[in-house]
């Protein structure tokens, strides 16, 4: 009896899903017929093991590719998306890249999300002539390499964006950035925030927490000792919550202005915060807010509903979706005879200029350059009730760090 019910429910669900998919989803050529040709091999690497799960980006990319394959593929050829897990282990990351590039012969990497993979493989990608359209990057190597371009902003841009909002809208004069004591994460991003503050004639300082240390209180005291009026939390969500809890205990929430880079823009964060933070914690969102709407935002959710119902629906997921979408757009424009030619695919990706999506605040481009950071405009939200509320829609960041990037954009005819 129960079994029958279940079957019926599943069937109904399938019909509904199919209906929804036909009604809303738009993917690639959008033909509605499945692609049957020889597959085009595309790789992706994410990190998913004990400290955290960065697989949302590859899951979203996989969902989009599945949708494209059901809708004509790339000129009739389906995309075979091969995803590896680096488990936060640099050796596994290198092996995963070898497997995808050398053994399986992928033509490009799309949707990568990891803390370690990009640092280890940046050179591998360059040597192999592979372009990586990453989606969930956190380390400097990801943004300062010729063969990686990421759709998300990473801690540096997000931190500058948060600082800029606090200076322009909340009148912050002295910001203390709380970062991880890992050179290519904390000092890299907080250092650039200090540079931004200096360029405005204001004061910026940084406090670095060793992730091995259980003691966040000392870091808080150090930030207070710096004389800051604003504390900018630039930490992974778990550590950020611990830090904020310490501040709460010390009764320091009201005495300071608070901001954070993207990691706190997570659905489960408002519930894990107590009411004192309501309306006080300003968080930078690297992509547009989940509920903003717009054709791509609606399509993103529809594609996930149809092809990956269990996947998370967060910033990294949006980012993976956008990377996959732009990749498909570039491949549809490429000569079909060259789809298996790594060099041609590489050139086609590097040729991406001015692609747009309502999930991003600015245009997306790749170009031939020694560094890539197309996404440097974001949205500011504030913790409100059980969710977030937008306080400043899409704004461009401005900081000395972006000078070479702006120059690249000028050369490409953007801006």
Partner 1 sequence: MRELLRPIAFATAACLGLAVLLGWGKPAAVVGLFLVSGLAVGSLYALGGIGIVLLFRATGVLNLAAGAIGAVAAFVTWQLGDWGMFAPLTWVAGLLTGVLFALAYGRLIAPGLSWREPVIKGVASLGYALILLGLVSFLWNDDPRKLSFPTDAVSLSILGLKVTVTRLIVVLAAIGIVIAITVALNRTRIGLQMRALANNRRIASLVGVPILRVETVAWGVSGLIFGFTGLMFGSLVRLEPAVITFMVIPCTAAAIAGRLVSLPTVLVAGLAMGVIESLLTLADTFKAVRPMAPYAIAIAVLVVMNLNRRLTFAGDD
Partner 2 sequence: MARQANTSLVAGLSAAILAAFGLPLVLGGQWTGIFTSTACFAMAAMGAGFMYSRLGMVSLAQVALMGVGGWVTLRLNHAFSLPFETNLILAAVVTSVLGMLLAIPALRMRGLYLALVTLMVAGGLEVVFTAYQFPNGGAGFWGVGTSFAAEMRRPVLAQSDGAYLTYTLLVAMLGLLLIMAHRQTAPGRAWALIRRSEAAAIASGTNVTFYKTWAFGLSGLLAGLGGGLLAGSLGLLDASSFRASESILLFALVIVGGARFWLGAVIAAVLYRVAPGLLNNWGVDADLALIFFGAALLHAVTTAPDGIAGQITGLFRRREAKA
Binding site for partner 2 (CB under 8 A): 48-50, 84-85, 87-92, 94-96, 98-99, 101-103, 116, 119-120, 122-123, 140-141, 144-145, 181-184, 187-188, 210-212, 371
The option from partner 2, partner 1, none interacting with 90 (CB < 5 to 8 A, set by class) reads partner 2
Nearer to partner 2, 188 or 243 (CB): 188
Query: Least distance from C-beta 373 to partner 1, angstroms?
Result: 26
Structure tokens at 283: 């968080």
Buried b (16+ CB within 10 A) or exposed e, 280-289: bbbbbbbbbb
Cβ 398 to partner 2 shortest distance, Å: 20
Tracing tokens 């033909």 back to the chain, one arrives at 31
Residue 141 contact, options partner 2, partner 1, none, Cβ 5-8 Å cut-off depending on partner type: partner 2
How many Cβ atoms are within 10 Å of 102's Cβ, its own excluded? 11
- Minimum distance of partner 1 from residue 258's CB (angstroms): 16
Q: Please, which residue, 351 or 404, has the CB nearer to partner 2?
A: 404
95 binds, among partner 1, partner 2, none (CB under 5 to 8 A by kind): partner 2
**How far apart (Å, rounded) are the C-alpha atoms in residues 330 and 340?**
14
Closest by CA position to 254, among listed 217, 288, 281, 284: 281
Q: Which is nearer to partner 2, 156 or 324 (CB)?
A: 156
- Least distance (Å) from partner 1 to the CB of residue 386? 14
Let me know: does 182 contact 210? Beta carbons within 8 Å: no
Residue 96, contacted partner among partner 2, partner 1, none, CB below 5-8 A by kind: partner 2
Instruction: Name which of partner 2, partner 1, none residue 289 binds, using a CB cut-off of 5 to 8 Å depending on partner kind.
Output: none
Residue 259 token pair: 């901001």
Q: Which is nearer to partner 2, 122 or 241 (CB)?
A: 122
Binding site for partner 1 (CB under 8 A): 49-53, 181, 208, 210, 212-219, 221-222, 225, 237-242, 245, 249-251, 266, 268-269, 272-274
**C-alpha radius of gyration, the chain, whole number:** 22
3-state secondary structure of 397: coil
The tally of CA atoms less than 13 A away on the side-chain side of residue 138 is: 23
Rounded to the nearest 5°, which phi and psi values hold at 239? -70, -35
Give which of 373, 381, 217 is closest to 292, Cα–Cα.
381
Q: 294 or 385: whose CB is closer to partner 1?
A: 385
């Amino acid at each position: 009896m129960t079994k029958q019910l279940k079957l019926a429910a599943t069937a109904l669900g399938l019909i509904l899903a199919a209906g929804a998919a036909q009604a809303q989803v738009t993917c690639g050529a959008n033909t509605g017929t499945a692609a049957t040709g020889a597959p085009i091999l595309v790789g992706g690497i994410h990190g998913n093991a004990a400290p955290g799960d960065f697989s949302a980006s590859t899951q979203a990319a996989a969902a989009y590719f599945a949708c494209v394959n059901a809708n004509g593929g790339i000129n009739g050829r389906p995309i075979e998306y091969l995803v590896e897990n680096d488990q936060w282990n640099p050796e596994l990351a290198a092996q995963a890249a070898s497997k995808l590039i050398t053994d399986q012969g992928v033509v490009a990497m799309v949707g990568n999300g990891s803390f370690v993979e990009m640092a280890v493989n940046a050179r591998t990608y360059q040597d192999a002539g592979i372009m990586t359209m990453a989606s969930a990057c956190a380390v400097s190597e990801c943004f300062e390499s010729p063969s990686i371009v990421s759709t998300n902003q990473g801690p540096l841009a997000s931190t500058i964006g948060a600082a800029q909002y606090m200076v322009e809208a909340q009148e912050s004069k002295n910001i203390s950035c709380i970062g991880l004591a890992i050179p290519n994460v904390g000092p890299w991003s907080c250092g650039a925030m200090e540079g931004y503050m200096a360029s405005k004639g204001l004061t910026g300082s940084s406090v670095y927490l060793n992730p091995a240390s259980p003691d966040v209180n000392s870091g808080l005291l150090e930030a207070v000792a710096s004389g800051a009026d604003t504390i900018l939390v630039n930490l992974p969500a778990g550590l950020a919550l611990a830090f904020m809890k310490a501040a709460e205990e010390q009764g320091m929430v009201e005495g300071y202005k608070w901001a954070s880079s993207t990691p706190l823009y997570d659905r489960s964060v408002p519930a894990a915060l107590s009411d004192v933070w309501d309306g006080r914690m300003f968080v930078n969102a690297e992509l547009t807010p989940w509920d903003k709407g717009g054709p791509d935002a609606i399509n993103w959710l529809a594609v996930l509903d149809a092809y990956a119902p269990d996947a998370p629906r967060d910033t990294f997921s949006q980012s993976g979706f956008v990377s996959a979408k732009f990749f498909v757009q570039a491949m549809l424009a490429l000569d079909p005879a060259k789809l298996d030619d790594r060099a041609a695919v590489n050139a086609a990706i590097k040729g991406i200029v001015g692609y747009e999506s309502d999930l991003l605040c600015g245009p997306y481009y790749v170009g031939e350059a020694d560094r890539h950071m197309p996404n440097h405009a974001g949205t500011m939200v504030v913790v409100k009730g059980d969710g977030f509320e937008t306080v400043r829609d899409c704004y461009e960041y401005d900081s000395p760090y972006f000078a070479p990037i702006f120059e690249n954009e000028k050369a490409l005819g953007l801006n």
